[in-house]
Amino acid sequence: MYELDDPKYLYLLAIVPLLLLLFLYELYWKNKKQKEFGDAELVKKLSPDRSVFKSALKFTVLMLAVSGIVIALVNPKIGSKMETVKREGIDIVFAIDVSRSMLAEDVAPNRLEKSKQIVSQIINQLGTDRIGIIGYAGSAYPVLPITTDYSVAKMFLQSMNTDIVSSQGTAIADAIELAGTFFDDPNTSRLVILVSDGEDHGEGSEEAAEKAREKGIKIITIGMGTEKGGPIPLKRNGVTESFKRDSNGEVVVTKLYPDALKAIAARTKGGYIYGGSSRQVTDYIKNALQNIEKTEFEAKQVATYESQYQWFLGAAFLLLLLEVFLLERKTAWIRKLNLFNEKKQ
C-alpha cells in the first residue's frame, strides 16, 4: 500500500525526455561538425580518449539523479502497519446562506466571504467531528456530504458563491430539512450551524426547526450583516458598477433580521450569536460543542503511511556526486579491455 504526498510534482519528470532530446541533438551536432572538420578516422586518431559511452553514462547518471529529486518532492509513502482508529465526536452540518443579499458589504469584505471565513475557522478548531455543508437561497443545495476530511470541506467551502443556487430568496426551512437528511447515524449527536442574514427567510422556518428538534437536531444560528444594512453591489471584474434596485428604481438596502434567527435557534434549544467578530463566534461554538455529548461514530482499520522521500533524495545526491567524478574521456583500464574489439593502430 502506498500514497503520494504531492503528485503534482510528477509533471516535472517531463524534463527528462526533453533533456534526452537535447542530448541526442548535441551528439548529432558534434558528429556533424567532426565530419566537417575532416575524415572521421583521422579525427578519431587525433582524439583517441574521446568516449561516447562515457558521455552517455554521465547523462544517464544525471537523469537518474533528477528523477530521484522529483520523486523525493512527490514524497511517496508506504503503509507499514494497520491500526484501529476510534473517533468520538458529533455530526455537524453547516448551512450557509448564498442569496444575493449576502453580497452586501456592511461587514467586510462582504457577508458571504465573512461567513466562509468564520466557518473555516470553526472547522480549524474541530477534532474528530464529522461535517457536511449546505448552500441555500431560494432552495437548498447539498455542497458536501458528511465527511471527516476537513481539507476537502474547506476547498468546497471556498468555492461557494451566489450562483450555485439559481432561485433567490432565503429558504431556511428547506436548508433545515435537507440538513436532516445528512445525518445517517441516529445515535450520534447532531448539530446544524446556520449562517444567514435572516432576511426574507421564507415560511415554515420555525416549523422546520421544530421538526428538527423532534429528531434530536440542535440548531445554532449566526447572524451576518448589520441591522442598519447596506446596498447589494453589482460588480464586473471585481469593480462595483452599480447597486441592485427594486422595481421603482430605488436602491435595495438589505438588513440583518436577528429575531428570525433567534426564534429558529430557540425552537431547538440551540443558540444565536452575531457574526461580526470571528473570534467571538468561534469561542461561542467551541463552548457549545463542549456541552454536546460526543459519541463513538467510527472505528475502522487504517494504514499508517511513512514518508520515503529521504531514500530518493540520498540516492540522487550520491548520483550527482558520481556524475562530478565521471570524466568524458576513456578510462585507461577500460581501453585495455578492448570491450568493443577496436583495432589497435
Compute CA distances 315 → 73, 252, 306, whole Å: 13, 66, 18
Do 89 and 68 share a domain, yes or no?
A: no
Contact 27, 55 (CB under 8 A): yes
When mean pLDDT is compared across 23-27, 137-141, 271-275, 337-341, the lowest value belongs to 337-341
194's grid cell: 446556520
- Are 18 and 48 in the same domain? yes
The answer to whether residues 327 and 285 belong to one domain is no
For residue 62, the one-letter residue type is L
- Whether 343 maps to a domain, the answer reads no
Q: What is the pLDDT of residues 164-218, one digit of tens each?
A: 887 777 789 999 999 999 998 878 899 999 999 988 766 788 999 999 999 999 9
Mean local confidence (pLDDT), 233-257: 87
CA terminus-to-terminus distance, the chain:
58
Q: Which residue would you say has higher pLDDT here, 252 or 296?
A: 252
pLDDT interval class at 302 (50, 70, 90): low
Q: Identify the DSSP state of 254.
A: E
- Of 292, 278, 297, 261, give the one whose Cα is nearest residue 122: 278
How many domains are there within the chain?
2
Give CA–CA dist 247/244, Å, rounded. Answer: 10
Instruction: Tell me if 123 is assigned to some domain.
Output: yes
In terms of average pLDDT, the best of 87-91, 157-161, 233-237 is 157-161
The parent domain of residue 28 ranges over: 2-75+308-337
Quick: pLDDT tens for 107-162: 999 999 999 999 999 999 998 889 999 999 988 999 999 998 999 999 999 999 98
Q: Same structural domain for residues 222 and 155?
A: yes
Mean pLDDT of the chain: 84
Residues 165 and 31 in one domain: no
Is the pLDDT reported for residue 340 higher than 60? Answer: no
Q: In this predicted structure, what is the pLDDT of residue 180?
A: 92
**The residue type at 71:** I
Considering the domain architecture, whether residues 122 and 51 belong to the same structural domain is answered as: no
**53 occurs within a structural domain:** yes
Q: What is the reported pLDDT for 264?
A: 94
Q: For residue 148, how far is the Cα from the chain centroid? A: 14
What sections of 79-143 are H helices per DSSP?
111-124
